Structure 1
Amino acid sequence: MLSLLITRLSNNRIAIALCNVFIMALPISLLATFCNLLEIFAFRMEWLSFAETIGNVGRLTAHIFPILINIYMAMYLSDTHRLPKSATIACSLVAFFIVSYQWTFISTVIPLPNSFAVALLSAFMTSTLISIINRTKLMHVDLSSSVVDNSLKVLACYILSLTSIVLVSSFIKVMIMPTFSLYNWFPVLNPLDFTDAMIYEFIRSILWSFGINGHNVLHTYKSELYDITVANIEAWRNSGDALNIISANFYDFFTGMGGSGNTFSLVVCMLLFAKNRGYKTLAKAVFILALFNINEPLLFGIPIIFNPIMLVPFILVPQVSLVIAYFSFWIGWVEPINEVNSWLLPPLLSGYLSTGGTAGGVILQIVILVVGVAMYYPFFKIMDTRSEGIDVTRIFNRRFFVNSDMAVKSKLASFIPSMQSNLQAQRNVERLNAEGEMILYYQPQVDVKNGQIVGMEALLRYRTHNGDILPPTFIQSFSQLQMMPELDYWVIEQAIQATSPYSSRPGFLLSINVSSDTILTKGFVKYLDKLIIGSSLKYEQIEIEITEELLVSDEVMTAEVINQLRTLGVSVALDDFGTGFSSLAYLSRYDFDKIKVDRSLIQKLDTARGKELLRIVVELGKVTNAKLVVEGVETHEELQYISSLGVRYVQGFYYYKAMPLDNIVTLMDAERVVV
């Protein structure tokens, strides 16, 4: 069931759009929250003028968030439908403002639209209508027509789309909603009743689940509760009246620690249990904000909003927290809240101050936090496991600092849809573990002048329980899960351990292909150094093969690693030379001991163009003074031509296929082989 849900999410263009949009808008949320914190700090320091200014900036920034959501969604959908971007955004914004004012979805603080749902819906409806109308024969832009005619068609298309949205909205508002008013759907709630408190908390969580600010929609309830709370505390102080269990801060301090959904429990859960590096980083980044009950970065960063996996605990945790808190007060284990404090007070401190400086409030909050962590854990574990190998920080970096365009074609453009690829990769790895084992084969490298084996490359293979030997088609799954370092380390350890007994043979050389993820791992060179020291092999008997992918990843760090390896005495070979568009550029930047020409360059030797291309590549390789090895040599004709170019070393089926180490040892021991 979960797999089906994730699969549908992965292929749902609306889900992909929502993920992209909220990630793009996240910096605005962060900016607003930092302004709020600065305002509080400035007031504490009595910098009143600065506090007022930064507070206004924060409130204005927060209020333009829905507007940006509308703009980003319009941008995304205009790319999807191939519509003029600026005109689509303008039309979407106008529709958003008109519909919001029609329905009074306007902030009471700053007169701007504040509904996420309307922001998204207006952008979606606008772009969809424009796309439909634009495809009609009457409105379709014809390049053979004049500029004036096409401009009029575009203008008419957008006006018609906007008019349609406004008319439909007006019809619903005037003809339907008087009978089915939105607020008539909400029950009349008694602010002091336990059952009504559960209903209020449930409605608030549901609204936030769809990006609608529950506090704004239910502000009349919260305002009434605030007035009742102030009067009740005043009566308690003056005449000793009993304190109400439910008060204005009851929700802030016991069902909303860290923000709606009691998400401080989720932050703690992520810090303690997250295996995904991106989630761990996100938890550290939002921890301070969560202390002050600000959780927008968490809502949009995991995300929680529009995420069917995380919405379950997001709704349930506050309900359970409310029950625990209510009955703790009712039984008398904890003193009722006896003063009104700011909702920004951190957990534990808020429990202590709100209950008159008693430890009971602190203990109650700790219990609720622990229960919340336990409830969030199984759902977060699903996200964490399915997202292993996806780095949210890389996604954010790509969105904020690298590419301002939204990826509309790739399912990996956002975070939740990426889980489907990870889920499939995990299944592949689990199936491999269940149905067989990894083994190493070795393919000799041969000196064409005398037919002697001058080295061998360790190659990963998979052996099923039936004894079938399969090529490593599974490597992509390990890469998807960011498990390449583990796989490479296994190969390196096994290869060095297996070949160590043969280190005394003259000219022995072991070549190991290492992925870019592994080589750039901190401490890789020290790790390799330790393995070699613990074996009988010498440094000069080890060769590390790298690909152009590594050279592109991080040139500075790559150069440092190559220098460290060569300083040890380990050879460095450039693998798959000639396949990358920038391979030639790297020949002048790095010192390689060996260059391995890719098999793809000799597959067309039956043509004059193919022969000339290989000749040029070989000549370029010779300029570096590195040894040249041509891979994939399979026929006598290929060998003859390669030899005529002055290439001395080859690797391929013409001489030997990849084989178990024992077979190579037998070859090396034969009288015709001298190593």
Structure 2
Amino acid sequence: MDGFINFMEKRFIPVASKVGAQRHLVAIRDAFMVTMPLMILGALAVMINNLPIPGFQELMNGIFGGEAWKGFGAAVWSGTFGILSVFIAFLVAYNLAKDYGKDAVATGAVSLASFFTLGAATSGMGSTGLFVALIVGILTAEIYSRLSGSEKLVIKMPDGVPPAVARAFASLLPAMITVSIFGLFAAIVTGLGVKDMFASFYALVQEPFMGLANSYPSALLLAFIAPFLWFFGLHGANMIDPFMQTINAPAIAANVKAIEAGKAAPFIVNKPFFDSFVNMGGTGVTIGLIIAIYIVGRKNKPYMIVNNLSAAPGLFNINEPLLFGLPIVLNPLLFIPFILTPMITVSIAYFATKTGIVPAATVMPPWVTPPIIGGILATKSLAGGVLAAVNIAVSVLIYMPFVIMANIQEQKREHA
């Protein structure tokens, strides 16, 4: 194990660190972090409209004299998920330009203009246009940042002109050129007979990609990557978040539409699926480790001290105290259960959802929602809570032998 850790520290960690700090991935991650409260609100609004409590729909219809009360949820959805791609087009360009040291607000505005130049107003403002929004945000930031850095394209105003006016004229030509490039591309695509660029891109690229990411092998890989990176001290969740977010919102939106149409939800793998059934207590299903320590590790004083400090954050899926306190990071003893537990729990959750025992996740509760409650909210079903409880029990059983081994090591150390 020591040889493996040394090898990983020398060969893998430097590469992973560079990937995690890659400016484009960081820009995407930070953009979705800004929109997270809005997506949670939109998902909760839909949950209220479709709350699966017997008699709830009839009660609300009776109070309001029809289904007019659902207008609130529909309006909130339209202002959150309904324009998600618009937020992303602006925020990705904004974050990337900020990293380059350029005018972030101006770059974001140009990105929005470029996005709508492609025809986003027709069908691309919601999750359907998310991939295009990411591409537009990145390309706009790259093009506009370079053009605005050219002195030949800067229109200089005489002294005494207000700074805001001078900045506007300085960015005039770069903005015009950038938007024109996207306009030219839109004209070419239309000339080729494509009536709706966003719908076509969704059908050709985004939907197949989501289907590929929705498979069991990909779910297993995602469950493996985050704890594996965390073991070496890298924030695994942050590093895979850009990928997760690209499939998250479209998958939830597609699930909601399918259920409203009376069909089965097509996408199992999304963020609430992982938050509710895999990342309970934090990466590595460490809620199971906390419980296991209380059951069989009470004589291990160092473990109990850290565990007592970690229990409350763990209830809200925050496990940094455990990761660095026990520690789990670079701890060979806990490497196996920390990697194995999420892979087993994701398998249980995937096939429970695949077979229809548990409904697919269609609501995105805040990631700090306590375990079991999150499963109920995400699936709008008590079955989701039962599945979360089963996975917690499984995680406790996996961690217990390793906590016992840690007890033996601690006793040997005390008597040495």
TM-score (norm. length: structure 1): 0.34
Once the two structures are superposed, residues 331-352 of structure 1 have per-residue CA deviations (whole angstroms, 9 ceiling, x without a partner) of xxxxx769x9995697579999
Aligned pairs for 1:225-236 (under 5 A) are none
Over 3 Å counting, the alpha-carbon distance change for 1:186 and 1:23 in structure 2 is closer
- The question of 1:8 aligning with 2:18 is answered yes
- Which residue of 114, 117, 121 maps to 2:131? 117
Q: Which of 270, 276, 284 is equivalent to 2:316?
A: 284
8 Å Cα contact 1:263-1:314 kept in structure 2:
no
* Higher share in helix: 2
* Larger mean Cα displacement after TM superposition, 268-277 or 156-165: 268-277
Q: How big is each residue's C-alpha offset from its partner over 1:475-514, in whole Å with a ceiling of 9 and x where there is no partner? A: xxxxxxxxxxxxxxxxxxxxxxxxxxxxxxxxxxxxxxxx
Aligned residue number for residue 176 of structure 2: 159
> How far is the alpha carbon of 1:316 from its aligned partner?
9.1
Matches within 5 A, 1:218-257: 223=258, 248=264, 255=268
Separation of aligned partners in 2, 1:256 and 1:23: 19
Q: Distance in 1 between matches of 2:351 and 2:343?
A: 13
1:201–1:319 Cα contact (<8 Å) kept: no
2:391 is the alignment partner of 1:369: yes
Partner of 2:246, secondary structure, is coil
Tell me which residue corresponds to 1:132.
Answer: 146
Contact 2:147 2:174 in 1 (8 A): yes
Q: State the secondary structure of the residue aligned to 1:64.
A: helix
| 265, 270, 275: which one aligns with 2:278 | 265
How many Å separate the matches in 2 of 1:349 and 1:131? 43
Between Structure 1 and Structure 2, whose CA radius of gyration is higher? 1
| Gaps in structure 2 of 5+ consecutive residues | 1-7, 223-241, 291-305, 319-337, 364-372, 400-416
- C-alpha distance in structure 1 between counterparts of 2:113 and 2:185, whole Å: 15
Corresponding residue number in structure 1 for 2:79: 61
> Contact 1:99–1:169 (CA<8 Å) still a contact in 2?
yes
Q: Normalised by the size of structure 2, how large is the TM-score?
A: 0.51
2-structure distance, mates of 1:12, 1:258:
22
Which structure carries more strand by proportion? 1
Say whether residues 1:209 and 2:219 are aligned partners: no
| Counterpart mapping for 1:11-30 below 5 A | 11-30=21-40
- Could you say which structure has the greater relative contact order, defined with CA pairs below 8 angstroms and 6 or more residues apart? 2
Change beyond 3 A, Cα 1:52–1:281: farther
| Residues 279 and 6 (structure 1), Cα distance of their counterparts in 2 relative to 1, 3 Å cut | farther
Distance in 1 of aligned mates of 2:377 and 2:98: 48
- Give the Å deviation of 1:181: 6.7
| C-alpha contact (below 8 Å) 1:351/1:362 kept by paired residues | yes
Question: CA contact under 8 A between 2:114 and 2:136: conserved in structure 1?
Answer: yes
8 A contact 1:208–1:214 mirrored in 2: no
Asked whether the 8 Å contact 2:92–2:138 carries over to 1, the reply is: yes
Distance in 2 separating the partners of 1:201 and 1:17: 27
Offset, 1:160:
0.7
Answering whether residue 124 of structure 2 is matched by residue 105 of structure 1, we say yes
Alignment of 1:255-654 (within 5 A): 255=268, 259-261=272-274, 263-268=276-281, 269-273=285-289, 281=313, 284=316, 321-323=349-351, 347=375, 365=387, 369-370=391-392
Q: CA deviation digits over 1:271-291, x for unaligned, max 9?
A: 4458898997486289xxxxx
How far apart, in 2, do the equivalents of 1:151 and 1:7 lie?
38
Give the SS at the match of 1:267. Answer: coil
Aligned AA (2:174): C
Which sections of structure 1, spanning at least 5 residues, go unmatched?
A: 108-112, 189-196, 231-246, 287-309, 330-335, 355-360, 378-675
- Alpha-carbon distance between aligned partners in 2 of 1:363 and 1:116, rounded to the nearest angstrom: 31
Cα contact 1:348–1:365 (8 A) shared by 2: no
Secondary structure (helix, strand or coil) at the match of 1:248 reads: coil
Contact 1:40/1:51 (<8 A) preserved = no
- CA shift for structure 1 position 70: 2.8
Shift of 1:362: 8.4
Could you tell me how far 1:53 is from its partner in structure 2? Answer: 4.0
CA contact 1:35–1:58 (8 Å) conserved in 2: yes
Write out per-residue CA displacement over residues 417-462 of structure 1, whole angstroms, 9 at most, x where no aligned residue: xxxxxxxxxxxxxxxxxxxxxxxxxxxxxxxxxxxxxxxxxxxxxx
The whole-number CA distance in structure 2 between the counterparts of 1:163 and 1:314 is 48
